[in-house]
Amino acid sequence: MALQEAEEYGESTTAVHAGESHQKALDSITDPIVMASTYTFENTKAVIDYIEQNQDRGEYGRYGNPNEAVVERKLAALDGGEDAVLYSSGMAAIVGVIMAKLNAGDEVVFFDECYHRSREFCSKHMSRFGVVTRQVEACNYDAMEAAINNNTKLLVSESPTNPHLSVVDLERFAAIGKRTGVETLIDATLATPYNVKPIKFGVDYVLHSATKYLGGHNDLLAGVIIGGKQQLADIRYLRGILGSINSAHNCYLLQRGLKTFDVRMERHNANGMAIATFLESHPRVSKVYYPGLASHSYHEVAKKQMRGYGGLITFELGDADWRATADVVDRCRLPKIGPSLGGVESLIEQPLVMSYYELPAEERAAYGIKDNMIRMAIGIEDTHDLIQDLNQALEG
């Protein structure tokens, strides 16, 4: 029997056991990887029973596999949702939601600090099919509500946002949706279900790039959308048509990563807080974006609804151009230069170079991307070693 009532257990117990059968195939302690593209039936009656009884079993790999089903149940339990739909990446997940929920003439409203590829998909690609995208200032709830009309079908935000780490008041965000009859989606990749569970605040859908903290080891791509079973039915159905699924081996890696999710997040949170505090006190650093700091614009909101503040920190160097900023990045010995976040290894990058280099300066400025900005994704290395390394890089 699978662990069903996950809410009765702690986070670590849920991460280890939720969604899994107590006794597994071949008496294995881990779920065997099912490398099958298709699933067979004993006879014609078995096929008819499968269709008429809506049996929970495999038919064809594009519609799911046993490893995926275990991971989906585990992810739903961690976020406090009824169901979860797993995708090949975080972008595939949000594309799946948008494609399933919006038709020609519909509108979607974003807070403008959402992941730029998510906004780009809607504004540049869904517009070709008659979907209108509106963007309003992050955490400006009056502006979001004012942007809603009879055609609005979805409200979208990250929380915290990337790279500025603005924190959305989830109760206010969800209340706007309930009041206007519009569904709400929060990309909680940076928070993870360890630090916040948006569904408990009334949000309809929670999105994660499982590539990040959920997988936790920089060795897989995956995305997930979590919500009510009925709400996700059309999303799951469309995924089966589009084919944006994950392999059985990737599902195995994600399931294995989730086993240590709780203990990893404890270290990410602790390292993040310690390093943000160090950076705020350093004379070369002019600003630190981290919701755990009292100086952060959204600290009070974060303190009210978050258990911890994660391992992503953005900071600015005082009186430094982009080259001097690059020198600090290059002098770091422990974090590697690269995109992404949430893995056991620390990563560091300049948003200007890594994600916004090809954009005109005025467009970067509109996104709040400064030449002297550094984003660091803190891993689980020893806190002292990371601080010492950052200090030597800053001292030059």
Q: Which residues are catalytic?
A: 62, 115, 187, 212
Measured between alpha carbons, how far is 369 from 374 in angstroms, rounded to an integer? 10
Phi, psi of 139 (to 5 degrees): 65, 15
Q: How far apart are CA 7 and CA 32, in angstroms?
A: 26
* The two three-digit tokens of residue 283, written as one number: 């004379």
Q: Is 18 exposed, middle or buried (0-12, 13-18, 19+ CB in 10 A)?
A: buried
Is the previous residue joined to 163 through a cis bond, with omega within 30 degrees of 0? Answer: yes
> What's the DSSP call for residue 246?
-
Structural tokens at position 321: 């151009």
CA distance 150 to 107: 9
Rounded Cα distance between 13 and 102, Å, is 37
- In terms of Cα–Cα distance, which of 327, 348, 346 is closest to 385? 346
How many alpha carbons fall within 13 Å on the CB side of residue 312?
24
User: Tokens at residue 278, please?
Assistant: 């160090």
SS3 309: coil
CB 356 within 8 A of CB 367: yes
